[in-house]
Structure 1
Amino acid sequence: MRLFGGGGAKREERAFDRVVVLGEDGSAERTLTPAEFHTLGLDERVRLILGKRLRFYAGTREIPLKEALRDS
């Protein structure tokens, strides 16, 4: 099972086109492109995932975490 890299969909066929990182209070803190998300350190990605502080989107549609990470 891949969670953070390697294969999955081709870059142009990603399940998501942006990632919103939520602050501690639940408000949007910053927005990342898929490339920016993948340049975060593994420890930071895991911390944000476990803290439920990420929202993945394709256009205006929110993508479930499991689906977004399958292609990451």
Structure 2
Amino acid sequence: MNLEDRVTELESRLAFQDDTIQALNDVLVEQQKLLERLQVQLTALAKRQEEMGWLDGPQDEAPPPHY
């Protein structure tokens, strides 16, 4: 393999790696956006649960019939 063929092969590999890195970056950006949305939803759910008093558990419910 001569020098020109080797350089051509390296350029080809570099182009493929650049495409792969860009694709991975795009996926990472989408996952970060999804994670941020899920964190906002989780915070909202925790706030609603706290407002409804579910975190303390039911206090005035009668025990189940099998007691």
Larger Rg: 2
Q: TM-score, normalised by structure 1?
A: 0.18
Q: TM-score, normalised by structure 2?
A: 0.19
* Higher RCO (CA 8 Å, separation ≥ 6 residues): 1
